[in-house]
Amino acid sequence: MSSSAASPSPCEVIVALTPFARQNHVLVPDSSAERDRYRHTRAGRVLGVVASVLRRFSQEGSLLLLLAAPAALAALDVRRSQSHVAWGALVGLLAASFVVSFAYRLRGVRASVSVPRRVAMGAATHLTVVLDNEGDASPTSLRVRGPFLPWDGQWQQRATGLAVLRRGARARATLIATFHRRGEHHLDPVRVQALVPLGLALGPPLFTEAPRFLVVPKVANVTSLTLPRARRHHPGGVPRVSHLADSRELAGVRPYRPGDPVRDLHTKTWARTGVPHVREYQEEFFTHVAVVVDAATTERKRKRYAEDAPLEAALSLAAGVVERLLRGETLIDLFVVGERVAGSQAHAPGAATTVEAPRATPLGRGRGTLEVALDRLAAVEREAPLDVEVSVEPLLAERDRFAAIVLVCSEWDARREALVKKLETAGLASLVLVTLPEGERAAGTVRTVAAEAVLLGAAVPL
């Protein structure tokens, strides 16, 4: 599946952002706390003063300020040209606008910003700025401008304006951005300023609080899901909490034993055999499914796609599987394998990597919602190679609880194949899904899903 030239595909966006976007932001601290610490250094304070002055000019004023530098070179020849007069007028106009701008402080105006707690990766994020005028004046020509974004962010609409904010009124302005990295995001505040007459300068800025939100994987559009040999009556399952009338499953009939309820007598069998028989029931259980996400590192290097593209598709597909299962009464245990690294020296050069056994995130029937699953998947990072023995340990320990296992991988090799064989040997039915770049297929009977189709939101029947 391909996208138009005007709208790059998610895989192309990931390739564009990694690693070039990181390199473009190599001098910019990634987190808000790190940026705040840098602002308190000597270099940060100097740059902060320069930035505060530059922020006081509008886009038009900034353009004139930029043109004033080369104009100063032409103005050096005061004998053969009158350029110095024009340059002096330009600088004087900018200086006068800057001085006058101090009178355009937004007194009595409160600004706040709201953003959804969770934002899908690559989806439009709306930052809603709310302005409340509790002062006596009615400021006009307000400019709302968003902050500098981290390396994975792109503004779709960074600035907007309000013609007037009347006394006692409330107004809203919306800024739109997209983010292509999962995890917690803490942006700098949004600023609001009044435009000075002539439109060259802005008044002292009014800042909102710093917006915070979590970028989570996009939920894949899983239109159908067929589990392999899902057992409804598996040993160790969780029984249903309530029964509507006689909702238990009839297992058969047996001869009557003293103490059996009279209401369970099966009259037809009694009449046919002449011996009293009673109905025997089997407890009905919730279907319990384990969704396992393979986030282990891979030694394979791709030329066309970034290494992260299949992983992002796998996380999105896992979220879609969970969302589909939660529509019913299925109990889910979400596992992530190959993610955690034990020990503080795990990342040290030459140190041995010890992988912890994956821990279950319970979902469904009041144990956890889709949001809980998205929060868990948002924190996934490739940290360790796949350890088959460690990965299957919690699954084998609880195999009597699971009716089926859905394994979602972003790569397929001998280690993944060995993991699936161990599960099958233990009697665990598995649906194996592998997200690969379009045109590639995994060997064997596993189900290959195009990574680009998942990230584009195409329908994925499973």
Which residues have a Cβ under 8 Å from the Cβ of 11 and sit 6 or more positions away? 305, 306, 309, 437, 451, 452, 455
Q: Cα(213)–Cα(125) distance, rounded to whole angstroms?
A: 10
| pLDDT tens per residue, range 14-56 | 544 555 566 666 666 666 677 777 777 888 888 888 888 989 9
Q: Is the pLDDT of residue 343 over 50?
A: no
The percent of residues above 90 in pLDDT, for the chain, comes to 40
Q: Is the pLDDT of residue 367 over 90?
A: no
CATH of domain 222-229+286-343+352-461: 3.40.50
| pLDDT tens per residue, range 416-445 | 888 888 888 888 888 999 998 888 888 777
CATH of domain 31-216: 2.60.40.10
Q: What is the mean pLDDT of residues 172-185?
A: 93
**pLDDT value of residue 23:** 61
User: Helix or strand or coil: residue 318?
Assistant: helix
CB burial class (10 A; 0-12, 13-18, 19+) of residue 461? Answer: exposed
Q: Cα(432)–Cα(421) distance, rounded to whole angstroms?
A: 11
**pLDDT value of residue 346:** 39
Domain ranges of the chain: 31-216, 222-229+286-343+352-461, 249-282
**pLDDT value of residue 79:** 72
Q: Is the pLDDT of residue 10 over 50?
A: yes
Q: Is the pLDDT of residue 341 over 60?
A: no
What type of residue sits at position 322? V
**pLDDT value of residue 78:** 66
Q: Closest Cα partner for 347 from 292, 411, 295, 297?
A: 297
**Both tokens assigned to 76:** 């050096």
Which of the pair, 381 or 235, is modelled with greater confidence? Answer: 381
Tokens 């020296």 sit at which residue? 345
129: left (phi > 0), else alpha (psi -120 to 50), else beta? beta
Mean pLDDT of the chain: 82
| pLDDT tens per residue, range 242-261 | 443 344 567 789 999 988 88
The percent of residues above 70 in pLDDT, for the chain, comes to 80
| pLDDT tens per residue, range 106-151 | 999 999 999 999 999 989 999 999 999 999 999 999 999 999 888 8
Residues 434 and 442: beta-carbon distance below 8 Å: yes
**Both tokens assigned to 341:** 């690294």
Taken in order 372, 217, 436, 452, the sign of the CA dihedral is positive
**pLDDT value of residue 113:** 96
**pLDDT value of residue 315:** 94
Q: Checking DSSP bridges between strand 361-363 and strand 140-145, what pairing results, if any? A: unpaired
Give the burial string for 386-421 (b: 16+ CB within 10 Å, else e): bbbebbbebbeeebebbbbbbbbbbbbeebbbebbe
How far is C-alpha 66 from the geometric centre of its chain's CA atoms? 39
**pLDDT value of residue 14:** 52
